Structure 1
Amino acid sequence: MREAAEDKYTKDGTTDLRGNPAVKKDTGNWRACPYILANECCERLAYYGMSTNLVNYMKERLNQGNTTASNNVTNWSGTCYIMPLLGAFLADAYLGRYWTIASFMMVYISGLTLLTMTASVKGLKPSCDHDVCDPTNSQTAVVFVALYLIALGTGGIKPCVSSFGADQFDESDESEKKRKSSFFNWFYFSINIGALVASSVLVWIQDNVGWGWGFGIPAVVMAIAVASFFVGTALYRHQKPGGSPLTRIAQVVVASFRKSGSEGCLLTNLYCMRFQRKEICDTR
């Protein structure tokens, strides 16, 4: 009976959303993963759908030269890949992966909605005459606000989704451990499906139907991603935040600067703290 009770819960420290030990038969495993995979597929479709043709949008609607548009998109893309540092830090140190994903998805969809409005709503949409557009400074600024909200959103969730999927499998259970590798295969498959549809169908829509539809569809798809993620909430397993490696690195750097002017450890003292809790000389 005792062994049966122990097998009822996961052994890797995961919990449900309320913080109670996760029940194996009710949470995680492949029953939770379809919602995570659908979220990832839709999010990647939304991201590549709005970004693949972004240089052309800036040239056509913001009346920017090729060099300026390319630089702006490069800077924005770089921001998208720097922001995961923030998302990873918040997830590891404070919020946990679930709440980090949930929070940044709201920022993400806000940016996509605003970007869609800049391409379709009068007043936010630049006035064009014979395919020559004349955007105001305010209209251009709104576009960049939308883009950097998207950068913050996609960067915030990027380091968390695959790890959150891995959390659904108990490493101490051999059968679940084997299924985890299969999850990653499906995870990357879902990314590529989203990217394929975005770089083919959505680019064609932007070029031949209009930018309002071309940005509106990614916004709707991202809304589906958000819904998919939240629908699976009751099934997810959660790892509690355990502190970020970035915090420890920062502490070491700060300590190094503080000690930079002090006298170094004597070689004869390196063995003196053997029986103390910390075995590094002069750390206090």
Structure 2
Amino acid sequence: MSEDQTKTLPPQEQDTRPGIEAEMTPPPVYIKPDYLAAGKLRGKVAVITGGDSGIGRAVAVHFAREGADVAIVYLDETEDAQKTKKLVEDAGQRCLTIAGDVGDPQFCQEAVQQTVDAFGRLDIVVNNAAEQHPQPSLTDISPEQLEKTFRTNIFGYFYMAQAALPHLGEGATIINTSSVTDYKGSPQLLDYSSTKGAIVAFTRSLSMQLIEKGIRVNGVAPGPIWTPLIPSTFPPDKVETFGADVPMGRPGQPAEVATCFVFLASDDSSYLSGQFLHPNGGEIVNG
């Protein structure tokens, strides 16, 4: 493969994490032009963490196209969140934006209550918020970084599911975002990969606990997807070749992941629980 064939994106970087979608070149694709909605989520209400941009934005827009009202939870990326809100409303659905840290259990309780107060119910929980901090060596990962990554990436999933559970009835779904890194590892993302592995175990275990209540719990494990996390955490030369090492030879777009969430949130997946879908550009992984 020539050097030119490994270049998938313009080199770029951002100083703030988890990143701003409005500053990305090219902008991510959050919905396919030929996407045909079928009312699969009509009358449903979803809460999506990390819903301001990237995969979360794409999921919010797809859910809205399918008839769901959406609450998007985000840290502090207000500009991105407002754009997502407009996209949801342009699709004919209501959207609530809630800023805060999912690593705080009290905030998760408040976010869920705001959602239920605004929309009267809760049917779908999408745990998607995440952060990553590449480090070349295990010894470079500080206790502060380790705790912060785990608090956002897995504690936040526990807290949001705990807050939502009293409001979820039979037919409700919880969908957790993991990553290809928990199946194949990543030498520069040791703490991030570890949290993603924990998400798989959490998903499978929670599925077994809630199945008798008629609540399904599944997950999505994306490969290299063009989201704000990439230019905000990797140097320009890494961004330039992002996704070149998968069989399809390119990074995926958020729109190519969001359809997995629609499937898992809808009755189309009524016989699936404890499972993961793998939109990863053709990499073969176990699980």
TM-score (norm 1): 0.22
Higher relative contact order, chain-length normalized (CA < 8 Å, sep 6+): 1
Normalized per residue, which structure has more helix?
1
Tell me the TM-score normalized by structure 2: 0.22
